[in-house]
Amino acid sequence: MKSDKEIKCIVWDLDNTIWEGVLLESKAVSLKPGIKELLEEFDSRGILHSIASKNNYEDAVLKLKEFGIDHYFLYPEIHWNAKSTSISKIQTNFNFGMDTIAFIDDQEFERDEVKSQHPEVLSVDALEYEQLAGYSRFNPRFITEDSKRRRLMYQSDITRNQSESEYEGPKEEFMASLNMEFIISEAKEEDLKRAEELTVRTNQLNATGQTFDYEELNEFRKSPEHRLIVCELKDKYGSYGKIGLALLEVKNNSYHIKLLLMSCRVMSRGVGTVLMSYILTEAKEKDKKVFADFKQTDKNKMMYVTYRFANFKEVHRENDIIVFENDLSTIQQFPKYIKVNVM
């Protein structure tokens, strides 16, 4: 199954892939030429790294630390189980589509095993590692400040999730302890690269599955008939970055939500409806009707449920687009544990 989607995560084997040699046979393995620089380059592009290796966990992690590259790898799977199982766990932890993952291994058997279970995954022979940086799928159209900080943001997520798993008490109390701040603002020109990236990378929580490039978004930003709204989430561990986007078509008596999306990274933080509630509240204050487009894709069923739960009702269909309307009789309140700031 071929895909042209940008790669979001590279899953590396270790023996004869990251390093020369087999760790179980000799502790004197050596890092392959250019690997450290390659990891750093992909990290700067916002591409994340993980590991699927058949090895002893403690020995492998110790060797990665010795080479000074352990910090690049998130959710490593180092054990003796099938690598297809490792890929499944890594995909679940990142919540990425399988078709945005690349798997690099020196053994054809391992690549075929992964391919048999996950045909969407891009399997790459380790012999090709030096060419990877030039492949189109490993070159994001834009490299934004958020993408440069992506690994650090995921590492903060891991810390948050660990704190949550150790927290004894109601979930709302834990959420309140995070001191979350949700910031809503009209998009500025410097936000557009990240806005385009959001439309390309967000699948599950994208109401139409539609993507827009920088130039299109800039036209909407400058158009008096449209509003382009972005939102950011922060907490005591740092910023999640720009995590949401809405495109409104503005008429005298209505807002029409042409695009609404939210990063999957914040699904567990209970902020999925904050931007929507903000739009609905403002529309009610200005005595405007609210319509919204929804186009079903193979991944965004949750967004349909979100619209229906927020009291949107289908009024008609235009080809494959469902048009909803909200009568504004019931608007979900912002969660009490989140401070919402409108800039």
Total of domains in the chain: 2
**Chain mean pLDDT for the chain:** 91
pLDDT in tens, 109-165: 999 999 999 999 999 999 999 999 999 999 987 787 888 888 998 898 888 888 988
Residue 2 lies in a domain: no
pLDDT digits (tens, 9 = 90+) for 185-230: 999 988 888 888 888 776 666 778 888 888 999 999 999 999 999 9
pLDDT (tens digit per residue) in 273-326: 899 999 999 999 999 999 999 988 878 888 888 889 899 999 998 888 999 999
Write down which residue in 138, 169, 202 finishes a domain: 138
In terms of domains, do 110 and 237 share one? Answer: no
pTM: 0.72
Do 235 and 297 lie in one domain? The reply is yes
Range of the domain at 111: 9-138
Query: What is the predicted pLDDT for the residue at 202?
Result: 66
pLDDT confidence band for 179 (50 / 70 / 90)? very high
pLDDT above 70 coverage of the chain, percent: 98
At residue 3, the pLDDT reads 65
The CATH number assigned to the domain holding 278 equals: 3.40.630.30
- Do 87 and 30 share a structural domain? yes
Question: Both 288 and 204 in a single domain?
Answer: yes
CATH of the domain at 133: 3.40.50.1000
Closest by Cα among 88, 86, 95, 97 to 12: 86
